[in-house]
């Protein structure tokens, strides 16, 4: 079963679509959640996501060691990774090239899973150039991570207003 990358802006419907894809996968589901409740508002967001998931789904909260957590899920299980954006934010103490290499390894692990999966990530490069260096670093880094994941995905979709647009693969020379 393939793995799909869902990329789009905040509140574009990515997580909802990922949930619908998991619900129709015909397999047990494990959600690998990367968010950490560092304040009350994020705690409410996490609680809302948890409440939206069926009781039969297992949730593993793993903010950093996502590759290992993904590899530990039984191969026949459908995996939902939600979300890469927060995972990258959690890794910002690492070197950028190391983070991109981790994303490539994550993509390889996901691509080798017979149970399939879906990965949620944000597109943050479509707006203005951020005013500070750290925000520019994050924007650029997440773009590179998304490319690494898309290169290994069977399908990549842009999600806008709850609708999807399949992104065509371009084979580089």
CB 62 within 8 A of CB 32: yes
**Taking the alpha carbons of 114, 47, 45, 51 in that order, is the dihedral positive or negative?**
positive
The catalytically annotated residue of 9, 27, 36, 49 is 49
Two tokens, residue 41? 């508002």
Spell out a b/e string for 32-64, using b for 16 or more CB atoms within 10 Å of the CB, else e: bbbbeeeeeeeeeebeebeeebeeebebeebee
- Is 49 among the catalytic positions? yes
Burial of 171 (0-12, 13-18, 19+ CB in 10 A): exposed
φ and ψ of 162, to 5 deg? 75, 5
Phi-psi map region of 13: left, alpha, beta (phi>0 left; psi -120 to 50 alpha): left
As annotated, the active-site residues are: 49
């Amino acid at each position: 079963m393939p793995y799909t990358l869902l990329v789009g802006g905040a509140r574009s419907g990515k997580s909802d679509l990922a949930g619908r894809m998991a619900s129709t996968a015909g397999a047990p589901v494990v959600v690998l959640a990367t968010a950490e409740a560092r304040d009350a508002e994020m705690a409410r967001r996490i609680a809302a996501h948890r409440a939206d998931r069926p009781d039969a789904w297992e949730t593993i909260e793993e903010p950093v060691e996502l590759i290992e957590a993904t590899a530990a899920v039984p191969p026949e299980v459908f995996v939902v990774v939600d979300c890469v954006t927060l995972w990258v934010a959690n890794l910002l103490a690492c070197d950028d090239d190391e983070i991109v290499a981790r994303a490539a390894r994550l993509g390889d692990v996901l691509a080798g899973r017979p149970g399939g999966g879906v990965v949620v990530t944000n597109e943050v490069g479509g707006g203005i150039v951020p005013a500070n260096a750290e925000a520019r670093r994050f924007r650029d880094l997440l773009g590179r991570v998304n490319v690494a994941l898309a290169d290994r995905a069977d399908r990549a979709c842009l999600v806008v207003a709850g609708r999807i647009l399949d992104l065509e693969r371009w084979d580089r020379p």
